Amino acid sequence: MARPVSRRRAIAIFAAAAGLPLLRTAGAAVPAKIWTGQALGAPATLILNHEDPVEAARLVELVVAEVSRLETVFSLSRSDSALAELNRTGALAAPPPDLVSLLERSRAFWAQTAGAFDPTVQPLWSLFYRHFSAPNADPSGPARPEVCRALEQIGFDRVVFNRDRVVMRPHMALTLNGIAQGYITDRIVDLLRNAGVTSSLVDMGEDRAIGSKPDGTPWRIGLADSQFDDRPDRILDIVDKAVATSSAAGFHFDAGGRFGHILDPRDGTAPAIYRRVSVVADDATTADALSTAFSLMEEASIRSVARTRRDLLVDLVGLDGSHARFEGSA
């Protein structure tokens, strides 16, 4: 999900890169190629182990170009993106295949989470943003009638799409910020694997490992309860897995910190159930979408969804600091 630059992101990459071994080839030590930039407004990092520095540089150029291309599909902040055009007009002819693919994945997560994950939540997000951007905004949030009007514009079942078109009802709008960073991460992983890369850590807003580190040890991803923490409180070791973390504390609409950016598309509230929700999955798209949805769900419901997927590991930190970790069991 899109969020401001936070210490947590730096912690994750620091934990992954700390003690990063050199790749040894023909007796020579080759340092890892590390690239940093942005993807959909979030900090992005690529740690690439490759014996050929020229090829490594070429792959980084391909990664940058692919991220730029996907931003023209998914970005809300670019007026020329396919998503921005869809939100302006309510319809899109000949949509980019990546948009159709991500809408298909979104529909599956919407159904799987009983509507907790819903990209049509954008009108509600816009309402909260407008409300708290106004001078002397009511600290209790938007009036309930306004929230109800926004909820009338929400419902992923009202979005019709196929490879030829995407159509929404009037006044609806989509945000893919709760899944697109994971999707971009997966596309970069595909690009690198197709180029023969067997060891890399890709972070395009969410983290995904290709293989292990060159010495065979897992990549290490740090988790922290607060963006102000100086070090992670937990470390996840991953090989060929993806990790996504969501927290309402990542951004608040209001100065008082009552209204986080993860809004419930079912009732219009901004619930604070957990300090942090982290999901490990086989792909970053899944981890991203479910970490978003699980932030709005009680633990029993999360466990129910996790039981349908063998690839999941869920790490929850409650508001009281309690910790729960469980795996899927399908």
Q: What is the DSSP secondary-structure string of 43-86?
A: EEEEEE--S-HHHHHHHHHHHHHHHHHHHHHH-SS-TTSHHHHH
Using a 10 angstrom Cβ sphere, with 0-12 exposed, 13-18 middle and 19 or more buried, the burial of residue 316 is buried
How close are the terminal C-alpha atoms of the chain, in Å? 26
Give me the pLDDT at residue 20, please: 44
Give me the pLDDT at residue 152, please: 97
Q: How far apart are CA 31 and CA 21, in angstroms?
A: 8
Q: What is the pLDDT along the chain (330 residues), one digit of tens a residue?
A: 333 334 344 444 444 444 444 333 344 445 678 888 888 888 888 888 877 888 888 999 999 999 999 999 999 999 999 999 999 999 999 999 999 999 999 999 999 999 999 999 999 999 999 999 999 999 999 999 999 999 999 999 999 999 999 999 999 999 999 999 999 999 999 999 999 999 888 988 889 999 998 888 999 888 875 555 667 778 889 999 999 998 877 788 988 889 988 999 999 999 989 999 999 999 999 999 999 999 999 999 999 999 998 889 999 999 998 999 999 876
Could you tell me the sign of the dihedral formed by the alpha carbons of 133, 134, 137, 142, in that order?
negative
Q: At what angle do helices 97-112 and 284-294 cross, to 10 degrees?
A: 40
Give me the pLDDT at residue 328, please: 84
* Residue appearing with tokens 């109800």: 148
**For the chain, the helix, strand and coil percentages under 3-state DSSP, each to the nearest 5:** 35, 20, 40
Phi, psi of 233, rounded to the nearest 5 degrees: -95, -15
Cβ contacts of 20 within 8 Å, gap of 6 or more: 32, 47, 213
For residues 240 and 204, the answer to whether their CB atoms sit within 8 Å is no
Taking residue 18's Cβ as centre, other Cβ atoms within 10 Å add up to 9
Of 122, 155, 102, 148, the closest CA to residue 2 belongs to 122
Number of Cα atoms under 13 Å in the Cβ half of residue 32: 24
Phi, psi of 111, rounded to the nearest 5 degrees: -70, -40
For residues 277 and 295, the answer to whether their CB atoms sit within 8 Å is yes
For residues 283 and 268, the answer to whether their CB atoms sit within 8 Å is no
**Between vectors from CA 49 to CA 288 and to CA 312, what angle results, nearest 5°?**
25
Burial 65-96 (b: 16+ CB within 10 A, else e): ebbeebbebbbbeeeebbbbebbeeeebeebb
Q: How far apart are CA 208 and CA 242, in angstroms?
A: 4
Give me the pLDDT at residue 30, please: 52
Structure pTM? 0.89
Cβ contacts of 235 within 8 Å, gap of 6 or more: 15, 220, 221, 222, 223
Phi, psi of 236, rounded to the nearest 5 degrees: -105, 130
Helix residue ranges, H only, the chain: 7-17, 53-74, 82-89, 97-112, 122-133, 144-151, 180-194, 284-294, 299-306
